[in-house]
Amino acid sequence: MVDNVCYIFPGQGSQYVGMGKDLYDNSPEAKAIFNQAENILPDLNLKRLCFEGPIEELTQTANSQAAILTTSIAALRALGLRFKPICCAGLSLGEYSALVACGALEFRDAVKLVRRRGELMEQAAKNNPGTMASVLGMSVKDIKEVCRDSGAEIANLNSPGQIVISGRKEDVQKAMALAGEKGAKKTILLNVSGPFHSSFMKEAAEEFKEELDTTKFSDPKVPIISNVTADYVKGAEEIKENLVKQLYSPVRWEESIVKISREACSIFFEIGPGKVLKGLLRRINPDLAVYNIETSEDINKVSRPEPSASKK
């Protein structure tokens, strides 16, 4: 059994029509997770949404969060106990999958929480219209100056040279122009429905805190890194506090991966839909081995991975 594996879980934006179908068809454990989620959220018609779409409906914030979490945990259950993770982490929404994986949160509670999280984020976005943009090829210091001069905010510190900003549309557009003047390689307006991971999400966070306060959390059985602090969380109360802050705080993903990799973990399993995290990790440290776990074939391929396999 490999003892230095870190499990990482994708966030919103990794969804695609057909995700999880192979797992559902080939793994009784994965099938049970989809069936459980559909029983918990009968209004969502989750299996149809994941397997058949349409993509426009699947992509809606209120829908995609529960769909991605369910697909990720279905993949985790299909993987089973073949490997022993040394720690877990997830990108934004993916942190809830990581909490399930490390034993701090039951799946039944997680799927209800992220469904409500998505609804509250969607409502906050309607009340506070805005957008997000990716800025490539700029330092954090320069991005902070751009945000100071534009009114935009840093939302994601994803990898070296890839930072996401958030805020009102006019502020983000101003920031994109300023970034271009200051030497950014590229700025990309993202197809999102609101200014996520910014101060405009504080109203959602206040309501969401009530949901978290009525949900049972446990101390993690496997160490887990928080998006908010880029450090290990120590207990259930700290987890809840960070999940509230996570809604309006920057996602410190690059720092999280650097910390994990410095502590003798060089093998990562991206568990769930898509390969977004694999791309980010290659930019953070190309020597890290990253395996995607999203189909039964992926699970059959992994046995005793070696770090050199990351570049295949």
| Active-site annotation, residues | 92, 197
Residue located via tokens 């994965």: 30
Cβ proximity of 210 and 113 under 8 Å? no
CA distance 42 to 243: 25
| 60 membership: H or E segment, kind and range | none
Q: Describe the strand order of the beta sheet including 162-167 as a list of residue ranges.
A: 153-159, 162-167, 131-136, 186-189
Question: Alpha carbon of 75 to those of 35, 251, 274: distances in Å?
Answer: 14, 24, 12
Q: Where are the beta strands (DSSP E) in 168-311?
A: 186-189, 267-271, 289-293
CA distance 105 to 10: 17
Residue located via tokens 């991971």: 197
CA distance 124 to 112: 18
C-alpha torsion 189→243→126→44, nearest 10: 100
